[in-house]
């Protein structure tokens, strides 16, 4: 009897998906000709999606609904900050939608997005754009394979040519 591969830790998964918001708007997707490839168990997808994918087989389709707490988290009001223009380098073109990276006191990298500019005040938000949202995934498993030792050590899947980083 053949062993049926299922998604579990240390498996590289090729996934087709459509991510929709609560209102049905498509937020992201990966098609069969360019699937999303990830290493299961390496925290490359939000926890609620990873939990929902665990145990699935090749060819299986499923809808997975991920609440905000198991997705990109709830909106953290402490990450909504008002800065002054003088706090930015003079050569930076500040406009709504511009993103920049900064380091927290703990050494973590955080991405902030400029949300509004009112005179000298610059409103920025360090929350993920999908924070606070329930995520609706329609998924199909295209392929499952054992991760190599190197992939597991690196914490991500490599391409067919070896150490080529994907997505």
DSSP labels for 7-39? --TTEEEEEEEEEE-TT--EEEEE-TTS-EEEE
CA angle 3, 38, 6 (to 5 degrees): 20
Q: What is the mean pLDDT of each run of 10 residues along the chain (167 residues)?
A: 81 97 94 96 96 97 97 95 92 91 87 95 95 97 93 83 46
Q: What residues does 38 pair with on adjacent strands?
A: 13
Q: How far is CA 160 from CA 12, 78, 148, 155, in A?
A: 12, 42, 11, 16
Written as six digits, the tokens of 67 are 């609440």
Query: How confident is the model at residue 160, as a pLDDT?
Result: 58
Can you tell me the distance from the alpha carbon of 69 to that of 80, in angstroms, rounded to the nearest whole number? 18
Q: Please state which CATH number belongs to domain 77-125.
A: 2.40.10.330
pTM score, whole prediction: 0.81
Question: How far is residue 156's CA from residue 164's CA, in Å, rounded to a whole number?
Answer: 10
Query: What number of other Cβ atoms are within 10 A of residue 4's Cβ?
Result: 8
Q: What is the pLDDT of residue 70?
A: 97
Distance CA 116, CA 90 (A): 18
pLDDT at 167: 45
Distances (CA, A) of 4 to 55, 56, 143: 10, 10, 12
* 93 secondary structure, DSSP code: -
Q: Which CATH number fits domain 11-72+130-154: 3.40.50.720, 3.30.70.360, 3.10.50.40, 3.40.50.300?
A: 3.10.50.40
- Domain edges within the chain: 11-72+130-154, 77-125
């Amino acid at each position: 009897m053949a062993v049926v591969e299922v998604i579990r830790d240390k498996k590289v998964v090729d996934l087709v998906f459509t991510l929709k918001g609560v209102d049905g708007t498509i937020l992201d997707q990966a098609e069969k000709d360019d699937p999303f490839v990830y290493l299961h168990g390496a925290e490359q997808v939000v926890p609620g999606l990873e939990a929902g994918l665990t145990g699935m087989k090749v060819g299986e389709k499923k809808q997975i609904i991920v609440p905000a707490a198991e997705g990109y988290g709830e909106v953290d009001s402490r990450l909504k900050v008002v800065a002054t223009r003088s706090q930015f380098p003079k050569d930076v073109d500040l406009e709504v939608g511009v993103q920049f990276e900064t380091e927290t006191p703990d050494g973590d990298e955080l991405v902030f997005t400029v949300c509004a500019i009112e005179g000298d005040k610059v409103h920025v938000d360090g929350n993920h754009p999908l924070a606070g949202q329930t995520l609706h995934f329609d998924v199909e498993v295209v392929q499952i394979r054992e991760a190599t030792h190197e992939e597991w050590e690196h914490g991500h899947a490599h391409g067919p040519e070896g150490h080529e980083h994907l997505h």
